[in-house]
Structure 1
Amino acid sequence: MIQIPRTLFLASVLLLSVNGATWARSADSNAPQRPVIEVRDDLPRHSYNLDISVTALYETQNRGKLLALARQVAADTKADLKNYDIRDDNTVQEFYGLLGSVALLENDWQAYLDYLEKRKALESKEANRLTMGLAGSAVALTQLSDSPSQETFADTFQALVSALPYKTVEPNLKSLKGSTEILSRALVLGSLESNYQPVLDRNNGEISYDIAASLVGASFTFDHFLAVTDTINGILSDTIESNTIEKTDIWAQRQVTLDAKDKGTPVTLAVWDSGVDTDIFQRSGQLWINNKEIPDNGVDDDDNGFIDDVHGIAYDVDANKTTEILYPIGEFSKDEAELQLLIKGIGDIQFNVDSEEAGEVRRQLSSLPQDEVKTFLESLSIYGNYSHGTHVAGLAAEGNPFARLLVTRMTYGHEIIPKRPTLAAAHREAAMFLEVAEYFRSQGVRVVNMSWGGSLRSIEDALEANAAGKTPEERKALAREIFEIGDRALRRAISESQDILFVTSSGNSDNDVRFDEFYPSSYEYPNLLTVGAVDSAGDETSFTSLGNVDVYGNGYEVESYVPGGNRIPYNGTSMSSPQVMNLAGKLLALHPDLTVQELKTLIIDGAEEKDIPSRSIRLIDPKRSMELASKR
């Protein structure tokens, strides 16, 4: 299986089609019975041949080839919508998004608007529905007007934005503004080339539906968006400036801070992540210590199968044991300080913070050559992996002097083209899952945080990227076999650890984790909690995944430590999950006799139920959960 940390480091940088595609479900009671699709893996596979390079596809002389590819993909999309009853709103909505992109390519402006309305009708998140296809709508309406021009586009876009309830859509507008500040033709071409050209080369010009759909969708950026970024930026800047609002931060008043003078019991909390800078938590006295192990002597002193596991255990990218407890950042073209600056700058741009770091990111990206995009993106990715576990650990331990963090490092890949998944690697990873769970049990771990995950499709995509399998169906079968090896082991690791509460992030894909078979957020076990993300005011974020979420925490501009001890804000469900672990740790510190079921119940019952369009969600309330525990 392929693990992905659930933090939004590059949300703006990796945006390739700002026209956007979110997905939906079709339902027609009068239609004849069709095969039901209840998981993504049951969708049919389609493939296409491309006889030119990815970047050449967007050259004027190759317009015919782009249109031919788009029409092939559209035909398959329409056939799937007609022939299958797809039980997932996100998936059908993505299909409508693809058809809308093709309509724009063909200058069929009204068809684009019609598909957009279908997508909006099926969108459950209000902010996403309201801002869906803003730029695309303005383009289409401008072209349908009596006098298509830049001025007409500006007036149209202004009217669309002015009609929106600003308080609801503020984060989405800021994110769109951020994309106008960093996207360039070279950046988008470089990203497409890095992601897809190796796949094209290794598979002799054959690409899957997903890649073809991405290439078709990116045409909007080249055809329309890049030409109006200054206009969009200006309108959004004025809108944001004139509507500046201070959202009420609901989290500060809910927090509980324990004091060393409280009658608390040390509680062992495992941060199963990319590794942790242990110096930070050693200074605060919040680091778990294995007193049976002698530090740095290269010997397994306590004969438990792990060498030098003084503060925890670690595995490398191949799931082999290692003694390096912090993710090895290695040698890159940028040093650690510059990478930290860039990560913060990208976040600041995304959330409209005019900082020195944001200015530096704008400067670098505006002049970034196409052939340097891959190195730039992979540098940011490796720093994200390097800092991820430390950031999570800081949130897990904050305000709890009784927390004892046991570090468990797993290693995420940082390369745009992932390593080839194999059966042998899957068995090593499965063994790692079981070994880690046994270690947790043997060391008295009470709570484990897992701000990571993956899916069956991610394995299939990695197989395609490495030209594994002779046909799409063969890749599908191999992906399922590899997935199930790790899936069975991870399920067993959780189910056999009934005295441990596992807390996991739902994911940042705005998808149904059950339909997409995301692990572990799609699992349902009595000792597992899945956590989604809201913002500082408790409003649902645009990115948080759905389908199997127990409670929500703050996942928006959440500040914590990075290696070295600096503190910067990150975004994502990776940040909301350890806040639930933090609450669990505090409950156990004051009430060590709590069972896993009692602990889980206190967290859920203490949460505030909040009604939002189409459903209700539970926002954790540490203060109330602590009060309920005291009244037991």
Structure 2
Amino acid sequence: MKRSVRGFLLILLTASSLTGIQAQGTVQENAQLPPKEWFILDPAKDKVQGVSVEKAYNTILKGKKSETVTVAVIDSGVDIDHEDLQGKIWVNEKEIADNGIDDDNNGYIDDKYGWNFIGGKDGRNVEQDTYELTRIYVTLKEKYGDIDPKKVRKKDKEEYNYWIKVKEDFEKTYDEAHQQYNFYSNLRDNIVRFHVLLKAYLGVEQLSLDDLRGIDSQDSVILTARNIIGMIYQNVGEDADFDNIAKELDGAVEHFGNQVNFAFNTEFDPRAIVGDNYNDPYEKGYGNNNVKGHDPSHGTHVAGIIAANRNNELGIKGIADNVKIMVVRAVPDGDERDKDVANAIIYAVDNGAQIINMSFGKSYSPQKEAVDKAVKYAESKGVLLVHAAGNSSKDIDNGKNFPTKNYAGSKSKAANWLEVGASAWGEGEDFVGNFSNYGKETVDVFAPGVEIYSTTPNNNYESFNGTSMAAPNTAGVAALLMSYYPELTAFQIKDIITKSSRKFEHLKVTRPGKEDLVDFRDLSISGGLINAYEALKMAESMVMDKKN
């Protein structure tokens, strides 16, 4: 079976290490796609490696009463008007909408549906932002950019060595992004032209792979055209729509263009829009109440996985049937800032969130102390934090992916934290998303994160891929447990989710980012895949034992 045009483009993007916001940019696609809602289906009944949500509703949960659970989604924003999220958005009942007064005295004016920490009081919002790497690079360059290494003071040696590392990382990744931007820009601009050129060169109305293989030319343009069109034919088919492919490539051009023009741009700093004192990581009260933002695609997709209405015969079925989504916007197109992440966590906790989903991450965290304090605060209040492990195909036991459950300057870890990697729908070597981070000592569990179909803005639905999708799958299962077994603590629920995860004896999978095979059990602490049915069974048993 031939691949779709989208499948071919996803291959290109994956090969180019496209990471984006840890979501739709990182992909893996087999020739045959699974059912749209495969992630809630059951392995035995449906022959896909879903988390058995439907089985749970039809058995364990049938006739059971539940309590409403509030899940905060810290993300790019959520389309709160989406048809499949109606009745599923948290509402601050103590706040009167748009009266310009902080009615509930929580420090945030008119926060009816949540809060936006990357907006200004004048209503403007941060859309793009730089990478944290860029911000650190700019700061340290002012101090060490022109200094003679021999004149670095002894007390500054450690920071200077850090500057050298940052400089190398920045220059390397910027160059890679610029190369990718040029590659995809040229490919988009030339792909239709190459197709027309080869048909004219061969004097045919319709090209075939045999025609391409028969080209014997010393002309570099003809050879380049042959190679690119041949690659498309091999992956998409000889009836490929080249105009459509060119349009689809616009996404890659936009992504790498944003990296070059914004994320790695040392002259770009949108923070003035927010109007806060950025040097004070503990400042509160800044931002605005626009929880949608300019592009809430990512956050809306995450929210749908957790909470899309299961009974309205529209779109999709979310995992949890009695849940409210609290929208907290803190993630731009670029890297989130530690100050905003810390405040987002605190806001969610203070306003009643029981679970916080965090489908974002970055490689540097200069204000980690502030984030750690917020995580400890959530831990003290018994709030479960669910975090995406990242999409860099890396072993994060030996790398960095912030925020993290590891507290700085200490060997202690947050006990209320679940770090989640991404799985696919089959049992073979491709069972793990080829983009997913992993770690025997860092990642707690895996969950579906490949070809996940969910809500997107303006009443649309799309399939995204990434650990960003695996995290809300896990948060959704956690919400189910809290909803039907409210006597359980966040710490017990974390324990249940990991211990009840499905194990796969002798399953060898392709190590993400590599070609070697590794035992799936060695990619996470639990060595398993989340399963709602098994988790609910364990919860039921735990509650009954306690009653007896």
TM superposition score normalised by structure 1 = 0.47
Give the match for residue 438 of structure 1: 346
* 1:557 aligned partner: 451
Q: How many residues align?
A: 342
Q: Which residue of 1 aligns with 2:376?
A: 495
- Offset of residue 622 of structure 1: 0.5
- Partner Cα separation in structure 1 for residue 14 and residue 426 of structure 2: 27
Aligned counterparts of 1:368 and 1:622: Cα–Cα separation in 2:
35
Given that 1:315 and 1:321 are in contact with CA atoms closer than 8 Å, whether structure 2 keeps it comes out as no
Matches within 5 A, 1:17-56: none
Counterpart of 1:535 (choices 424, 427, 444) is 424
Instruction: Give the TM-score normalised by the residue count of structure 2.
Output: 0.54
SS in 1 for 2:115: strand
Q: What are the within-5 Å matches in structure 2 for residues 11-410 of structure 1?
A: 12-13=12-13, 15-16=15-16, 248-251=47-50, 253-255=52-54, 256-257=56-57, 262-280=64-82, 284-316=86-118, 360-364=243-247, 374=257, 386-397=296-307, 398-410=318-330
Q: Distance in 2 between matches of 1:290 and 1:602?
A: 31
Output the aligned Cα RMSD.
4.4
For residues 406-555 of structure 1, what are the structure 2 equivalents within 5 Å? 406-414=326-334, 429-430=338-339, 432-456=340-364, 483-485=365-367, 487-498=368-379, 499-521=382-404, 523=406, 524-538=413-427, 539-547=431-439, 548-555=442-449
Q: Measure the CA separation in 2 of the matches of 1:253 and 1:369.
A: 34
> In structure 1, what is the equivalent of residue 501 of structure 2?
607
Q: State the secondary structure of the residue aligned to 1:631.
A: helix
Shift of 1:294: 1.1
Distance 1:444 1:173 in 2: 41
How far apart are 1:442 and its partner, in Å?
Answer: 2.0
Residues 276 and 444 of structure 1, relative CA distance in 2, 3 Å threshold: same
Give me the whole-angstrom Cα distance separating, in 2, the residues matched to 1:357 and 1:567.
24
Q: Say if 1:395 and 1:250 are closer, same or farther in 2 by CA, change over 3 A.
A: same
* Distance apart, 1:305 and its partner CA: 1.1
Mapped to 2, the partners of 1:287 and 1:357 lie a distance apart of 42
Q: What is the rounded CA distance, in whole Å, between the counterparts of 2:15 and 2:536 in structure 1?
A: 41
CA contact (8 A) 2:28 2:435 kept: no
Distance 1:321 1:495, change over 3 A: farther
* 1:237-282 deviations in Å (ceiling 9; x for gaps): xxxxxxxxxx931216454348896411011110111110111278
Q: Distance in 2 between matches of 1:394 and 1:586?
A: 15
Q: Give 1:615 shift.
A: 5.0
Alpha-carbon offset, residue 378 of structure 1: 8.0
- Cα 1:374/1:537, change in 2 over 3 Å: same
- Judged with a 3 Å threshold, the aligned counterparts in structure 2 of structure 1 residues 374 and 399 are, in CA distance, closer, same or farther, namely closer
Q: Are 1:620 and 2:530 counterparts?
A: yes
Q: Deviations over 1:30-69 (max 9, x none)?
A: xxxxxxxxxxxxxxxxxxxxxxxxxxxxxxxxxxxxxxxx
The 3 A distance-change label for structure 1 pair 514 and 385 is farther
Distance 2:357 2:255 in 1: 35
Aligned residue among 452, 458, 462 for 1:568: 462
Q: State the Cα distance separating 1:512 from its structure 2 match.
A: 2.0
TM superposition shift of 1:440: 2.2
Structure 2 CA distance, aligned partners of 1:565 and 1:368? 21
**SS of the residue 1:588 aligns to:** helix
Distance 1:17 1:267 in 2: 37
What is the rounded CA distance, in whole Å, between the counterparts of 1:513 and 1:383 in structure 2? 31
AA aligned opposite 2:378: S
Confirm or deny: 8 A CA contact 2:319 2:473 kept in the other structure. no
Cα offset for 1:536? 1.1
The structural deviation recorded for 1:435 is 2.9
Give the counterpart letter for 1:396 in structure 2. Answer: I
Query: Does the Cα contact within 8 Å between 1:313 and 1:323 map onto a contact in 2?
Result: no
Answer yes or no: is the 8 Å Cα contact 1:275–1:389 preserved in 2: yes
C-alpha distance in 1, partners of 2:474/2:253?
41
Rounded Cα–Cα distance in structure 2 between residues aligned with 1:261 and 1:360: 52
8 Å CA contact 1:513, 1:521 repeated in 2? no
Find the aligned partners of 2:254 and 2:70 in 1 and give their Cα distance.
47
* 1:533 alignment partner, SS class: strand
Q: What SS does the aligned partner of 1:602 have?
A: helix
Is the 1:274–1:411 Cα contact (8 Å) retained in structure 2?
yes
Secondary structure at the aligned position of 1:497 is classed as helix
For structure 2, list consecutive stretches of 5 or more residues without a partner in the other structure: 1-8, 19-26, 33-45, 129-187, 189-231, 263-291, 308-317, 407-412, 509-517, 522-526, 543-548
Q: 1:309, 1:323 within 8 Å by CA — same for their partners in 2? A: no
Q: Counterparts of 1:174 and 1:384 in 2: how far apart (Å)?
A: 34
Q: 1:376 to 1:586 in 2, by over 3 A?
A: same
1:301 deviates by 1.8
Q: Within 1, Cα distance between the matches of 2:47 and 2:400?
A: 36
Alpha-carbon offset, residue 307 of structure 1: 1.6
Aligned equivalents of 2:327 and 2:64: distance in 1? 25
Instruction: Classify the secondary structure of the residue corresponding to 2:324.
Output: strand
Distance of 2:253 and 2:112 partners within structure 1: 45
Aligned with 1:406: secondary structure? strand
Q: Which amino acid letter does the alignment assign opposite residue 562 of structure 1?
A: T
Residues 490 and 377 of structure 1: CA distance in aligned 2, closer, same or farther (over 3 Å)? same
Q: What SS class does the counterpart of residue 313 from structure 1 fall into?
A: strand
Deviation at 1:295, TM superposition (A): 1.4
Q: 2:330·2:344 contact (CA, 8 Å) conserved in 1? A: no
Report if aligned partners of 2:419, 2:444 keep a CA contact under 8 Å in 1: yes
Residue 396 of structure 1: how far off its partner (Å): 1.3
Supply the distance in 2 between the matched residues of 1:287 and 1:327 (Cα, whole angstroms): 23
Cα 1:386–1:172 shift into 2, 3 Å: closer
Q: Quick one: distance in 2 between partners of 1:370 and 1:626?
A: 44
Change over 3 Å in CA distance of 1:368–1:510 after alignment to 2: closer
Higher helix share: 1
**Alpha-carbon contact 2:127-2:332 (below 8 Å) kept:** no
Confirm or deny: 8 A CA contact 2:65 2:484 kept in the other structure.
yes
Structure-2 change in CA distance of 1:488 and 1:12 (3 Å): farther
Q: Contact 1:270/1:448 (CA < 8 Å) preserved in 2?
A: yes
- Partner deviation per Cα, 1:537-579 (whole Å, 9 max, x = no partner): 2511211102211111111100000011211100111011100
Please state whether the residue corresponding to 2:361 is helix, strand or coil: strand
Aligned to 1:151: none
User: Residue 601 of structure 1: CA displacement?
Assistant: 1.0
SS of residue matched to 2:304: helix
Name the SS of the counterpart of 2:386 in structure 1: strand
Aligned-partner Cα distance in 2 for 1:173–1:587:
32
Distance 1:434 1:305 in 2: 15
Q: Which amino acid aligns with 1:525?
A: A
1:328, 1:386 within 8 Å by CA — same for their partners in 2? no
Instruction: Report if aligned partners of 2:392, 2:437 keep a CA contact under 8 Å in 1.
Output: yes
